[in-house]
Amino acid sequence: MSWTDMARNGRILIVDDAMENIQILHQALQDEHEVVFAMNGAKALHIAQTQRPDLILLDAMMPDMDGYAVCRALRESGATRDIPIIFVTALKTPEDETRALEAGAADFITKPVNAAVVRARVRTQLTVKRQSDALRELTLTDGLTGVANRRGFDEAMDTEWRRCARAKTPLALIIADIDHFKAYNDAYGHQAGDDSLVRVGAAMRRAAARPQDLVARYGGEEFVILLPQEDKRGAEVVARKLLDEMAQLAIPHEKSGASPWLTLSMGVASLMPADGLSAGGLIKTADALLYQAKAGGRNRYCLQADQAPTPLP
Ligand SMILES: Nc1nc2c(ncn2[C@@H]2O[C@H](COP(=O)(O)OP(=O)(O)OP(=O)(O)O)[C@@H](O)[C@H]2O)c(=O)[nH]1
């Protein structure tokens, strides 16, 4: 499917205080898009947050909250910041146009609108948005395994830390490292090593399959699993599932010393994000537990002790 084809089926939010204007735009777009509408700024912000439109057509002049204020509010919220906005207005001066673009609009259409122009401008903005989304996805994904990369993990950790702190729910982390992977590469070759990394990444995704779970490749043969709203017992269940998944894969590793198969060692930790604690502290705790699992013989996980979590300095 081409970018232009993909741009045909987006959800468009039309914001205008006059029903006849909404009807004209609806008429122009309804064949190619799902159209929702709002007749004031507050309603527009609510729909933008809850229904996540792909693009917003925004009237500049509205009573109470005008288009510029709506535009600024959309830009301030992480959930709506990236939705492209096209201003639709009877104001035509270069100053009006500049003001709209400075408020964060992607484009500008003047009234009375022409249906073909509206469709073309909407398609263009949707195409640009789809392309930038795809590019962003690429920058957050590990090219070999298809799981998130270090940067993807850092972003998710930042978001989930703040989300769990607000919701007062725990956040769990598993750091997993393949055992004796250097010996594996030496014995079976780098290509076989790469193939195994792909299979391990897929096993992790099977073990941590909830929508909010995030699997990332943290370094060469080191992976992390971020488990929002999980305490350490929930994370332990995932770690056990992962040991099972690895046993089922049964990738031969004759030089391992820990097992005839390729295995993982893991550190499993969880804490309640709060003032005085940090995401870095959670990572350090899980990392120290991973080290214990390695020292204890590998092919196992070490779980955080039961006392109140005290992250390492
Ligand atoms: N094939 C392949 N190997 C990688 C990749 N990234 C890292 N490695 C290898 O992973 C190995 C990691 O070795 P070490 O850090 O010594 O650890 P280990 O041999 O797994 O030993 P333990 O962790 O102590 O069980 C190195 O040989 C790296 O070359 C990769 O993308 N592909």
- Which residue type occupies 265? S
Q: Is 74 in the same domain as 202? A: no
- Which residues constitute the domain of residue 273? 150-303
Q: Is the CB of 179 under 6 A from ligand 1?
A: yes
- Ligand 1 atom index nearest CA of 265: 25
What separation in angstroms does the CA of 308 have from each of 38, 150, 311?
Answer: 49, 28, 10
Among the three residues 114, 136, 158, which one is the final residue of a domain in this structure? 136
Residue 309 — pLDDT band, cuts 50, 70, 90? very low
Q: Is the CB of 254 under 6 A from ligand 1?
A: no
pLDDT, position 218: 96
ipTM over 0.90: yes
Nearest CA to ligand 1 atom 21: 180
221, 230, 236, 245: the catalytic one is 221
Q: Is the CB of 185 under 6 A from ligand 1?
A: yes
Q: Is the CB of 255 under 6 A from ligand 1?
A: no
Strand order in the sheet with 107-110: 34-38, 11-15, 55-59, 85-89, 107-110
Provide the strand spans (E) within 6-135.
11-15, 34-38, 55-59, 85-89, 107-110
Does residue 307 have a pLDDT over 90? no
Q: Is 165 in the same domain as 122? A: no
Nearest CA to ligand 1 atom 18: 180
What's the structural domain count of the chain? 2
Write 158-167 long-range contacts (CB < 8 A, 24+).
158/279, 160/212, 160/214, 160/226, 160/228, 161/273, 161/279, 162/273, 163/228, 164/228, 164/229, 164/272, 164/273, 165/273, 165/274, 167/229
Cβ(3)–Cβ(25) below 8 Å: no
Nearest CA to ligand 1 atom 16: 182
Q: Is the CB of 257 under 6 A from ligand 1?
A: no
Q: Is residue 145 part of a domain?
A: no
Query: Tokens 């096993």 identify what position?
Result: 203
Residue 90 — pLDDT band, cuts 50, 70, 90? confident
**pTM (2 decimals)?**
0.81
d(CA 173, CA 230): 9
Nearest to 225 by CA among 212, 216, 234: 216
Q: What's the CATH code of the domain at 281? A: 3.30.70.270
Residue 101 — pLDDT band, cuts 50, 70, 90? confident
Does residue 251 have a pLDDT over 50? yes
Q: How far, in Å, from the CA of 190 to the mean position of ligand 1?
A: 10
Q: Is 165 in the same domain as 132? A: no
Q: Is the CB of 54 under 6 A from ligand 1?
A: no
Cβ(41)–Cβ(49) below 8 Å: no
pLDDT, position 93: 85
Q: Is 13 in the same domain as 36? A: yes
Cβ(110)–Cβ(89) below 8 Å: yes
